A and B are shown apart, each in its own frame.
Chain A
């Protein structure tokens, strides 16, 4: 391991030689200064490092909130400042670190520069410091000095290091205990109010939430904050009682209520009072039962109290809510058996609770009946077997697996044999199914361990030495290899451990029960038969590596290779099985297309450029361009791009150098000289900037000899072949498993239900409580709708590319004869246009020019067959597509030798323009008449796809709607929208994944499928439930307008350090606050490609900032879910933020707007009906206001007219009205509280009149 990787070498230095002031000591101990000085031996003062934070202050005079910059030249003080902030602000505070000199060195330094050489470490340190996560070395040093001070001597007066960075703050501290006549003037009260207001803005997206919004999202946490204030400031609280509402209420709460929810207990109360238990009243609809309503309310409150802060993270919320909710419902069921039994089939939560209680009872019965003696014996047997296996295998993976299992079983044994644990405790822990499975699976692993790298033991199914030798002496054809593979596949499916590994890899997120069910299904006879058939097909049809493996080994060795690769891929060792097999296979399958798309570089392109360059100067120019690109890529951080460009540069330089340096050489001398040049260029032009990898490459390729290269090169190639096998098998089995979780299977239904359950969990709170009840009612219908939508979209996506090809192959291609055209020109144009049509359908032309030349030649010789003979300029000739395709088929059959022979002709007789034309780069049609691809796409994907999906889903939704009618009005109106939409999204994601696998598996990837995928996936996202039906037409139209799915060229995952480096760079160049970048930018940047320029990324950061605000408004209390989760999910679309908004955000936005509109219309109608004598109110269609705001505006209008005026406070604090009339959607008028009455009345009258 290198020094750079050994963690922070920034411990407090004891090398201080002179006494200095506290300020200079702080700078001396600053971690960044310390690192520069101690690790790099640089003078930190030269870098003038400053830490910058932002603080919000309310101006006492104007009441406006303003941002102040807080600066410090050392980490200690800025950290102290941060620690003084209110807790909610602390968490969100990130420092910016400024040092133009340091960042210049980091960004533009050279290889020899110490800063540049260590930039990874420095950037990592900067990140830690900016987040305040690095230890405060100055404080540590103080503590250490204090601890080591001799006791007998009088301790020196401790230095109090108050932050000196903000004078205002100090003043505030000194006045902390002061009691004000008006509590609203107390800075502590102001600060808490500000904190809560900011939280409101962050959480709800506006500063004037409705009462319902406030209660749902903020109320409880706000009360908790005031409760805390009261308990920490008892004197102040007492003085402010009666003067400040929130404090008075908090005091009342402190005196009157406990923190633990008191759940109504009739029986206990009856016992206390001696009264008879009340008669149990059962309700037809459990949601109407007051006991249920009370319990829901209590759970919500208890959860919010337990979470304890104003804007909890979703995980925190869910984790806190889950146990409280479950425990409360279990208590309810146990204490109200009659009610619970009556409601179990009507009320989902109670039904689930029953199931949970019964499961617990069954588990308890199981462990109570467990034979502890037998379990102890089984554990000992397993331990003995593992001990025997230890050290018998050179392969590190095997040893690790044995050690891990051994450690687990020994830990279990300790407890099993421990006298301090009771028998019941031991039974409870080890008599469970989980432990039994652990023992069973471990035993199976031990028995089935593969014979890898010379293990001496003789496990089940090992490959014998005789099998491993190439005894048969003949090479196996791919079909024979496929037979052997199928035999092995059968054994794999018979091995429960291997199947469990494959299932784990294929559906990691599924529940244990689902995984077990799938594993069982895979092991049936029918599945085994289908699987082996699939493996055979897969192996027979798969390309390059297959012929390599078939050719490399023979007979028994091939058998051995296959068995080894199976065991690597799906064998009994979970770690290796998953890593090298199923996951790798799936990754290869998925990533291959991207890789191929991105990695266009072939040495031929550089050679072509050199060939095209006529003079040495032009060749040098080609080289210079590539070199320039290489230098840029070196600092871009994109390792993949760097490797590609480095390879181009090496090629260019080798060609240039060889021309100069091998002039006059021939034969052996020449090739040896070329190799030397190539080796030197490989040494000089690195394909990586990662130091460890560079060092490793250098260590092996430069410091070792030919014998080692041969050995290691061979090992790498052998491993790669084995990996390819593993990958292929992994790909096959994951594909096979994905077939089993297709639209028709039970697994999809489970996924839907699970999705609804997840949503129910996440939506815990006041709104979600209602939602649970609604989904309990609507569940089956909603699920059915989603499922049917999915099935329809899936069916459309499966329409294969053959149908589109059929559409084109029925056509004749028109070619206009130009002056001077011969038959070859005509043939070339015809071929060009057919291939261009294919290209538009996503079928890539990878024919080399040699094949294209052959196809042209064949076609021109066969044009007479289709009636083409004498050519006249201006004449239009029709060539059947089938005949052109035939020419391409003939060309595809050329042998390597034939292609080699044609190569000379191509290079000597064709211009680069002609070759470009033949390759169809850009795929422009020679004749507009030959545009058949649009028809083919339209035939399958435009209206037809949309209509079919629409019809199927709309039908399903109608059914859902009919089902919903019977639900209670309250539940239907308030709950299902978010619940069902989100459940739909869960399925949509699953559906997209499933469709994606289908597409990847069939290697089609046509435009039609992509569109069907996009339409199918997105349609599904709103596909379930009554609200989906209501807005169906509008959304479908929206979707139909945007059929193209934009993708980034690169989906490379970048490390957080790389992001940090970029963020720092952006910040230093643009001045964007680091806190903004860290808060949201990192998530966004994580999604964008390094291919993008810094300028573009800056735009993304800015947009995301705006996006974040929009999202808060749209999603109320779950901004973080959308901000992190959704952006993560949709990162491939985030290259264009507007496009992203047009996707998920657009749907949310439209739904939200329409819901508000529905509510607003009701209010308008109600107001107008109740006040027939007043002017009737009508608001613009796209006014984004809710029912509460409408109510208040209507009341204000009424008051203004009937009473002749109104108070500014009658109106909501802000009303955003889109300028509907001027059609400038983004312009809006904000009426602030305090605007003059006249202005407001004028505004309302003006708009009411205009609206007629």
Chain B
């Protein structure tokens, strides 16, 4: 399963397994949530880095409104090649965390 698929589907156990993390049930849920938060931020950052200044301005104006989520979704849909860039960013971050944990 792709990294982004794991995140979108919130597959927590598979997420931990793919990082080589083996935790007791009591801790797994909490750690997986933290990982998902981290990866969500990576996704958001990747989108924002790929926005034009005009789109960024538009989004800034929506940051304090209830339209933010819809605006993010629309901008993401309009950004060419974004999914691939997100996949790459997530994949890299997976590898780093996995390697850091394995040391």
Contacts and interface: CB of A to CB of B under 8 A. Distances in A.
Contacts of B57: 1, 5, 692
Given A544-B2, A700-B44, A718-B76, A671 B60 contact: no
A696 B59 contact: yes
Given A679-B38, A715-B76, A723-B76, A709 B95 contact: no
A655 B99 CA distance: 8
Interface stretch (A495-503, A580-588, A1105-1113, A1183-1191): A580-588
Contacts of A551: 1, 5, 9
- For the residues of A in contact with B, the DSSP-based class is helix
A449 to B, nearest CB: 16
B72 A710 contact: no
B76 A670 contact: no
Contacts of B69: 711-712, 715
Interface string B58-84: 011101000111111111111111111
Interface centre among B63, B82, B95 (most CB of A within 10 A): B82
Interface in B6-61: 7-9, 19, 21, 23, 27, 30-31, 33-49, 51, 53, 56-57, 59-61
Which range contains the number of B residues in contact with the other chain?
35 or more
B100 A591 contact: no
A612 B60 CA distance: 44
Given A672-B31, A710-B36, A396 B103 contact: no
B32 to A, nearest CB: 10
A508 interface: no
Contacts of B83: 544-545, 548, 717, 720-721, 723-724
A648 to B, nearest CB: 9
B21 A671 contact: yes
B95 A595 contact: no
A609 to B, nearest CB: 11
A247 to B, nearest CB: 55
Interface string A563-599: 0010010000000100110011101100110010001
- For the residues of B in contact with A, the DSSP-based class is helix
Interface stretch (A682-690, A923-931, A949-957): A682-690
A668 B79 contact: no
A651 interface: yes
Given A584-B80, A716-B73, A552 B49 contact: no
Nearest to B27: A668
B74 A696 contact: no
Nearest to B66: A394
Nearest to A657: B100
A680 B41 CA distance: 12
Interface stretch (A343-351, A600-608, A811-819, A867-875): A600-608
A724 B5 CA distance: 14
Given A651-B92, A710-B37, A717-B86, A395 B70 contact: yes
B97 A668 contact: no
Contacts of A576: 78
Contacts of A1: 57, 60-61
Contact of B49 (A548, A643, A715, A726): A643
A720 B76 contact: yes
A701 interface: yes
Interface in A636-671: 639, 643, 647, 650-651, 654-655, 658-659, 662, 667-668, 670-671
Contacts of B94: 603
Nearest to B26: A668
A693 interface: yes
Contacts of B86: 716-717, 720
Nearest to A639: B49
A727 interface: yes
A456 to B, nearest CB: 16
28 contacts: A394-B67, A396-B74, A548-B2, A551-B9, A552-B9, A576-B78, A584-B79, A584-B80, A587-B81, A603-B91, A604-B95, A610-B99, A667-B27, A671-B19, A672-B31, A675-B38, A692-B57, A706-B33, A714-B40, A715-B73, A716-B72, A716-B73, A716-B82, A718-B8, A719-B73, A719-B78, A723-B76, A723-B77
Given A719-B72, A727-B80, 9 more contacts: A545-B83, A551-B5, A580-B77, A655-B103, A696-B63, A712-B44, A712-B68, A713-B43, A722-B76
Interface of B: 1-2, 4-5, 7-9, 19, 21, 23, 27, 30-31, 33-49, 51, 53, 56-57, 59-61, 63, 67-84, 86-89, 91-97, 99-101, 103
